[in-house]
Amino acid sequence: MLLFRLSMKLVVIGAGYVGLVTAAVFAQFGNSVIVVEIDKNRIRQLSEGKIPFFEPGLEELIKSNVKTERLSITDSYQKAIPQSEIIFLCVGTPTKNGRADLSSIYSSVKSIAENLKNKVTVVIKSTVPPGTNEKVRKVFEKTTKVEIELASVPEFLREGKAIEDTLHPYRVVIGARNKDTIKKLLKLHQKISGKRMVCSPESAQMIKYASNAFLPSKISFANSIARICDNFGINIEEVMKGMGMDKRIGPDFLNAGLGYGGSCFPKDIDALLYLSESVGYDFSILKAVKKTNNDQVDFFVNKIISLCSGSVKGKILVVLGLSFKPNTSDMREARSLYVIHRLQKLGAVVRACDPVAISEAVKVLCKADFYVDPYEALKGADGLVLVTEWDEYKNLDFVKIKKIMKSPIVADGRNIYNREGLEKLGFTYEGIGK
């Protein structure tokens, strides 16, 4: 006899990256999924089949599951909650004054509790500090008599590769104590590949924070080595390649450049630093990771100044790539914001170029001129400043660019270009540690 039905009634709270991807993937597996979102504007966009951000493959997946009625979106907890078997909390947990702001978690938990009719499993997917489950349990107990099971299944997807990462993660971490809850969640995830790890909810939450602190530590380490390589004329890419061949180190997240941005690493590092301070521990390694990352922007801007013979005042500089990384329109903590701000402060005229993020970038960058076509942007420019390594920028026609630019200068913040090739064409090139 099957202990649980193969398809389940799921509710996902929050139509952000994590919520929409979770909902779409589980609907695709045949479950019935209702997404609850309180932002009416977002619901309207989604009901017109539009995804509020750029994520490859997501729009098609959402559309096809809405069509087959496996997936629906509402702002009504009253409509969604009573029939649900598993509820996923996928709301944002930004940092406020350095600590994780859990107000959206608590307000959605209250709304869930007010509408519960039957026993349900509530799974926290949002990144939250250890101990949150017990606080959430108290909110439930205050508001309802209905029995709930709490679990923590942290999200490890990357923007730009969200669907691939959800279908084929390295691991699925199930943080729960109740045996039936663990079985139910293992069953729900059975079509997803990757290793399984069952542990306490607190460990699951700490695994997420520790992972989101360790990966940027690798990046800052690579960037620190790059600073030394830069002085000795050593190529950082060769060094990291050789280092990454050691299985204990691994080749990923060792790309030196302008450093990390995005909605996750910077906020989770701050939240973990807050957590460590709250127990009286000085997490000095993590502080250095953060400082190293911030310093990379200054280091890069100083290179641009040297390339421009000591001053960028009045120079037309084309920044290629605005989003915090390729394949996303997300501008949160994008390095481009910091680089552009510094250059503008120093008197440069910035032309900002990106294949998809301009609609987001205009909200946060006021003084720049925006371009989609890099060649248009580069006409008459004094310098090309590569900030985000979109594929579109990897194979540019530099023979053509040499003809249209005023000064043949390339500052490569992600080490995607070949110094020798560019120098042969007459460009002056600077990368980071190469």
Which string of b and e fits 413-424 if b means at least 16 CB within 10 Å? bbbbbebeebee
Considering the rule CB under 6 A, would residue 408 count as an interface residue with ligand UGA? no
Q: How far is the CB of 227 from ligand UGA (least distance, A)?
A: 14
For the segment 175-194, give every residue that binds ligand UGA (CB under 6 A): none
Considering the rule CB under 6 A, would residue 209 count as an interface residue with ligand UGA? no
Q: Return the DSSP state at 40.
A: H
Considering the rule CB under 6 A, would residue 283 count as an interface residue with ligand UGA? no
Considering the rule CB under 6 A, would residue 293 count as an interface residue with ligand UGA? no
Three-class secondary structure of residue 127 per DSSP: coil
x/- map, 125-144, ligand UGA, by CB under 6 A: --x-----------------
Considering the rule CB under 6 A, would residue 299 count as an interface residue with ligand UGA? no
For the segment 217-236, give every residue that binds ligand UGA (CB under 6 A): 219
Helical segments of 29-145, H only: 40-47, 58-67, 77-80, 103-115, 132-143
List C-alpha distances in Å: 326 to 316, 321, 330, 355: 24, 8, 9, 9
For the segment 241-270, give every residue that binds ligand UGA (CB under 6 A): 253-255, 257, 259-262, 264-265
Q: How far is the CB of 285 from ligand UGA (least distance, A)?
A: 18
Round the CA-based radius of gyration of the chain to a whole number and report it. 24
Considering the rule CB under 6 A, would residue 296 count as an interface residue with ligand UGA? no
Q: How far is the CB of 304 from ligand UGA (least distance, A)?
A: 18
Considering the rule CB under 6 A, would residue 272 count as an interface residue with ligand UGA? no
Q: How far is the CB of 257 from ligand UGA (least distance, A)?
A: 5
Q: How far is the CB of 46 from ligand UGA (least distance, A)?
A: 20
User: If we measure between CA atoms, which residue out of 143, 171, 185 comes closest to residue 8?
Assistant: 185
x/- map, 311-340, ligand UGA, by CB under 6 A: -------------xx---------------
**Pick from 37, 55, 85, 155: which binds ligand UGA (CB under 6 A)?**
155
Q: Are 25 and 163 spatial neighbours (Cβ–Cβ below 8 Å)?
A: yes
**Pick from 93, 212, 220, 327: which binds ligand UGA (CB under 6 A)?**
212
Residue 353 among the catalytic residues? no
Pairing label, strands 95-96, 99-100:
antiparallel
Considering the rule CB under 6 A, would residue 88 count as an interface residue with ligand UGA? no
User: If we measure between CA atoms, which residue out of 308, 311, 306, 336 comes closest to residue 322?
Assistant: 336
* Active-site residue (options: 264, 308, 353, 366): 264
- Active-site positions? 264
Binding region for ligand UGA (CB under 6 A): 127, 155-159, 212, 215, 219, 253-255, 257, 259-262, 264-265, 324-325
